[in-house]
């Protein structure tokens, strides 16, 4: 899946050797087959209400179908976390709603500023976040309101 940004944080310079990075890959990992899939149906159908003219399909085309595998979100500089790579809360929420049910455990192995943990909490999921930066752990504690276990590795 791909997360397409509306703009880049750092656009490529005119004399750069690369184009501006405006998307990121999104991976969904699970053990075995996907057990939960609550696909978000927000893609408007052009042929909504119509039936198959062959008569084989009895039900009309629904108003909305599952979205494509490229998700677009508006990004901005309004983040107040002081983290350099925060992604939209809606992006985390849409994945949480798509691939889990209430009461499931959400794991974020690079918790950063806690966006995924915050959205898991809001959507009644249990969550585990792993973060090595003490600074970011403090941000998570303030933002999510949870206790952080800091493990120091030498």
Question: Average model confidence (pLDDT) for the chain?
Answer: 85
Q: What is the pLDDT of residue 73?
A: 86
Of the candidates 68, 84, 78, the one whose C-alpha atom is nearest the C-alpha of residue 3 is 68
What residue ranges define each of the domains in the chain, with the CATH number in brackets?
A: 2-144 (3.40.50.150)
Lowest-confidence segment of 27-31, 112-116, 126-130 by average pLDDT = 27-31
| Residue 64 structure tokens | 């909305």
Query: Where do runs of H (alpha helix) occur along 23-150?
Result: 89-99, 115-122, 134-144
Q: What is the pLDDT of residue 154?
A: 47
Question: 75-83 long-range contacts, Cβ below 8 Å, gap at least 24?
Answer: 75/5, 75/6, 75/7, 75/9, 77/9, 79/113, 81/113, 81/114, 81/139, 81/143, 82/113, 82/139, 83/112, 83/113, 83/136, 83/139
Average pLDDT over residues 2-30: 83
The pLDDT tens digits for 91-101 are 999 999 999 99
Buried b (16+ CB within 10 A) or exposed e, 48-82: eeeeeeeeeeeeeeeeeeebeeebeeebeeebeee
């Amino acid at each position: 899946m791909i997360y397409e940004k509306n703009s880049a944080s750092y656009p490529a310079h005119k004399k750069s050797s690369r184009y501006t990075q405006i998307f990121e890959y999104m991976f969904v990992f699970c053990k075995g087959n996907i057990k939960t899939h609550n696909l978000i149906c927000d893609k408007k159908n052009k042929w909504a209400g119509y039936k198959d003219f062959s008569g084989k399909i009895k039900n009309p085309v629904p108003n909305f179908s599952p979205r494509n595998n490229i998700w677009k979100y508006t990004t901005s500089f309004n983040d107040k976390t002081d983290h350099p790579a925060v992604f939209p809360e809606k992006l985390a929420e849409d994945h949480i709603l798509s691939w889990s049910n209430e009461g499931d455990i959400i794991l974020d192995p690079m918790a950063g500023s806690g966006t995924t943990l915050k959205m898991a909490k809001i959507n009644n999921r249990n969550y585990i976040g792993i973060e090595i930066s003490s600074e970011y752990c403090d941000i998570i504690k303030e933002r999510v309101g949870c206790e952080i276990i800091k493990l120091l590795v030498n």
